[in-house]
Amino acid sequence: MLTDFLSPIIGDWPVALRWGAIGGIIFALIAARYFLAAGAGFGISTLLGKIAPWRKLQNRDFSRQQITREIAYSMLSTLIFVAVVGLIIVMTSAGWTQLYTDPYAYGLVWLILQVPAVLLIQDFYFYWMHRIVHQPAFYNRVHKTHHLSTNPSPFSAFAFHPFEAVLEIAIFLVLVFIIPLHAIALITAGLLSLVYNVYGHLGYEVMPRFLANSPIGYWLNKSAYHNQHHRTYRYNYGLYTVIWDRLYGTLHPKADQLYDQATQKPETEPVIFSHGKSISPATRPDS
Ligand SMILES: [Zn+2]
Ligand SMILES: [Zn+2]
């Protein structure tokens, strides 16, 4: 664990300073991971704007003001995540959680299966949490912060109201008590969560058609769907999958049509404005 690794260096420090150093390192790691993933996503979206403009999901560019706001809220969320990770470290040190570090402790089969298991549980939790925060009682107080971006950029991956940041990570806090999880599996699940969030807020659709049209792809959430959620404020509540959206009838009726249009290169060249932007995304189904 991080505390064991650091103890030769900070073991003699006063308690407050020691926890300050650990918190600072966790913050730096989570923030670096966010900037790497969101920055890569932003780079991909900029490149796609030049080489595959038909993949753009809305006929608007990300504004500087929007990106600044998304980063500011994401840093606030990072602080919340640091507090929760700190709490998990303290409780694990006290022997209260089922978090473990010996890869053989529960067998290699469980070691491999636990990441998909965590992702599926998180997916179900997120769907219902997301539907609940869209209820009038919570929307204005909590979830509106994330929806300030109607055309979200990859930097909105963590752009939540602090209370929603707690809700987002709470599932991990619960899981460490009830399921034996390897520390690396938990970190991997957190990383995949960030990567899928960046994909969902890319502003462009990049999922290959062969994957989307496969039996697995049918159940996977897509950037087009989540972008549509930001534009319409309803439908498409899923995180990794649309299992629950399809099951409960909350997938947008034109979600698949939107994906198809965004991933099909138009036969004729898209009409170009004088400032060089394609207008084809403006005709995307959105209601
Ligand atoms: Zn929402
Ligand atoms: Zn979003």
Domain membership of residue 96 (yes or no) is yes
- 158 CA from centroid of ligand 2 (Å): 9
Domain membership of residue 250 (yes or no) is no
Give the pLDDT of the chain (287 residues) as one tens digit per residue: 566 666 666 767 777 788 888 899 999 999 999 999 999 999 999 999 999 999 999 999 999 999 999 999 999 999 999 999 999 999 999 999 999 999 999 999 999 999 999 999 999 999 999 999 999 999 999 999 999 999 999 999 999 999 999 999 999 999 999 999 999 999 999 999 999 999 999 999 999 999 999 999 999 999 999 999 999 988 999 999 999 999 999 999 999 999 999 999 888 655 544 444 444 454 455 54
- 9 CA from centroid of ligand 1 (Å): 44
Tokens 């790691």 map to which residue? 29
Domain membership of residue 92 (yes or no) is yes
Closest-approaching ligand to the CA atom of 150: 2
Nearest CA-CA partner of 239 in 126, 129, 115, 114: 126
> Rounded distance, CA 139 to CA 188, Å?
30
Closest-approaching ligand to the CA atom of 133: 1
> Rounded distance, CA 244 to CA 241, Å?
8
For 115-171, the pLDDT digits (tens) are 999 999 999 999 999 999 999 999 999 999 999 999 999 999 999 999 999 999 999
Domain membership of residue 12 (yes or no) is yes
User: Domain span at residue 15?
Assistant: 2-204
Domain membership of residue 267 (yes or no) is no
Residue 266: left (phi > 0), alpha (psi -120 to 50), or beta? beta
Collapse the DSSP code of 113 into the 3-class scheme (helix H, G, I; strand E, B; otherwise coil) and give the result. Answer: helix
Domain membership of residue 126 (yes or no) is yes
Domain membership of residue 65 (yes or no) is yes
Phi, psi of 204 (to 5 degrees): -135, 150
- 231 CA from centroid of ligand 1 (Å): 10
Domain membership of residue 165 (yes or no) is yes
Total of domains in the chain: 1
What is the distance, to the nearest Å, from the Cα of residue 263 to the centroid of all Cα atoms in its chain?
Answer: 22
- 41 CA from centroid of ligand 1 (Å): 20
- Extract the tokens encoding 6: 């650091």
- Extract the tokens encoding 77: 């969320």
Nearest CA-CA partner of 81 in 244, 233, 190, 192: 190
- 88 CA from centroid of ligand 1 (Å): 27
Closest-approaching ligand to the CA atom of 196: 2
- 130 CA from centroid of ligand 1 (Å): 6
Phi, psi of 192 (to 5 degrees): -65, -35
